[in-house]
Amino acid sequence: MKKIAISQSNYIPWRGYFDLIASVDEFVIFDEMQYTKRDWRNRNKIKTKNGSLWLSIPVKVKGKYFQKIRESKIDGIAWKHNHWESLKANYMKAPYFKDISSELEEIYCKENHIYLSKLNRRLIDLICNYLKIQTKIRDSFEFNLAGDKTERLVNICKELNGSEYITGPSAKDYINENMFNINKININYLDYNNYLKYNQLWGGFIDNLSILDLIFNCGEYSHKYMKYV
């Protein structure tokens, strides 16, 4: 039984995102969707001594209301220094910061990504490699994207010979399960409840942060606080 998951790219996503990737045989980044502001595509949270902090990438949106995620361009470069300095200031003393810091510094300080999707994919690949996630990652533009939202998901699964579609619980609000049933594709929803707490810097535990918080604090033991890695 071949398992498929499909999702938009996110910026340094939380651990549930990587559990979704690890739970399937092939993961498709679906950045054909319309870019939405104040969403996870261009921002995520880290932990500081004053609580959680948003790291947001500025995106060129003026006059581009209907642009797709993969068409969205990053606005300026000042954010790169700010994000890297925020990561260093808040995690330099974490036990496993050095495990991945040199690669992150390369991305933030030396690479120049024009498109948000490309940057997100670069970071997702880096993190998957660190977590030893072997799932094959594809891009949605490789596939037949005709039809409505559910039809496009079904078509991708069929092109990949997928027999099971895995998705997050929020998909129940929009997905047409009957269409999957007609095409003999099982659909299952990942359970994001009851993640284990882990030791963090800066006092009490804060959940649903970027995966970088888990990696910096737990390193090679990060998989113990995930469900499918």
In the predicted model, what is the mean pLDDT of the chain?
A: 96
Q: What is the pLDDT of residues 137-178, one digit of tens each?
A: 999 999 988 889 899 999 999 999 999 999 999 999 889 999
The DSSP bridge partners found for residue 59 are 74
E strands of 76-162, at which residues? 136-139
Say if residue 166 is exposed, middle or buried (CB neighbours under 10 Å; 0-12, 13-18, 19+). buried
- What pTM did the predictor assign? 0.96
Q: What is the pLDDT of residues 30-67, one digit of tens each?
A: 999 999 988 999 999 999 999 999 999 999 998 888 99
Contact 115, 74 (CB under 8 A): yes
pLDDT at 64: 86
In the predicted model, is pLDDT for residue 90 greater than 90?
yes
Measured between alpha carbons, how far is 43 from 47 in angstroms, rounded to an integer? 14
State the amino acid at position 171 in one-letter form: A
pLDDT at 65: 82
3-state secondary structure 192-204: CCCCCCCCCCCCC
In the predicted model, is pLDDT for residue 122 greater than 90?
yes
